[in-house]
Amino acid sequence: MSSQTPDKGAAGGFAEMTDKLLKAGKLLSNIRDQDVDVGATPKKLVMRRDKVELFRYEPLAEQRVKTPVLLAYGLIGRYTMADLQEDRSLVRSLLSQGLDLWLVDWGQPNRTERWLTIDDYVDDYIHAAVERVCRETGHDRITLLGICEGGVFTTCYAALHPDKVKGLVLTITPIDFHADRDDPDTHHGFLNLWTRSLDSADIDRLVDTYGGLPGEFMSSVFSLMTPMRSLTKYNIDLIEVIDDKAKLMNFLRMEKWLADRPAHPGEAAKQWLEDLYQENRLVNGTFTLSGRKVDLRVISAPTLNVFALDDHIIPPTCSKALGPLIGTKDYTEIPLPGGHVGLFVSSKSQGRLSKGIAEWLAARD
């Protein structure tokens, strides 16, 4: 009898897997690309400048924070990470708490944006967006909400245009690009270490060849940072959820966001990698935009700094470094559990991030 038990177990497991795959096949056959919708929260186009677009989100609740909030994501990836799906969306959560939320969307840069610099993104595109938001709402100052590289852009803007910024909210934003050396977690800072190891001439050759940092190149870099996760997500993670439509859609939306990685404009990429990652100019006071030094001490707006405690891409130490450097005395930190992306899309973090931001803004409105 005992010799037959494994055979019965194997047969049962095979039948269970067959049923699961049949159900999965029916699910997948009915899913179209338009069903895997990311960034679907309703919004209205207000302004277009080159490929950059300014949107205003439609309200989902009575407005409780009067000062408009402009969201800026980075150039490495798309803003849709903050609006992945209805139940995992920082955008929807903030709208539900009564914010007047706006978005600057960088579009899909390619070789035609080869010569754009961070100067252009901060002093032209963000500035034009801020001016338009002020004109549309009747406010003379607004709040900036920056995510990752977008947080660096908004920090620079707040330092160069303090009269236009009422509040500054940063999430997973690097400030001191060398602070990972003091991070107690050894798995934090691999991206910083790798970038510092690059030869500047090789960075220049890469950008000159492609006209920027190809999105596929950056995707491979991030995949190599978590190699086992990258290798197993299709033959383990996907199999586990393939017969559950809700979980499968979660998986597909995340994959769609990961695949939608535009090229990073060339000259801006050189500044990002060489001036900031390698030379750490934002902290040592030598980073200049449009001929003006970016002095963090000039930032006078109340500032909220949110970072993820297990962020292996932007280590917490790199974000926390802002505190002693900033000019305002109204400075607040919110450390949250989770990783770089998990802070926005994890079911565990839903509500905590948006509630912390909304309450902080309401107290200063």
Q: Which of 134, 148, 156, 318 is catalytic?
A: 148
CB 75 within 8 A of CB 149: yes
Helix %, strand %, coil % for the chain, to 5? 50, 20, 30
- The neighbouring-strand residues paired with 307 are 335
Nearest residue to 84 (alpha-carbon basis) of 73, 75, 98? 73
| CA dist list (Å): 349 to 106, 148, 353, 357 | 26, 17, 7, 13
Query: Could you give the maximum distance between any two Cα atoms of the chain, in Å?
Result: 84
Q: Is 318 a catalytic residue?
A: no
State the CB neighbour count (10 A cutoff) for residue 192. 23
Q: How far apart are CA 178 and CA 156, in angstroms?
A: 18
| Torsion angle of C-alpha atoms 329, 97, 44, 41, degrees rounded to 10 | 120
Positions annotated as catalytic residues are 148
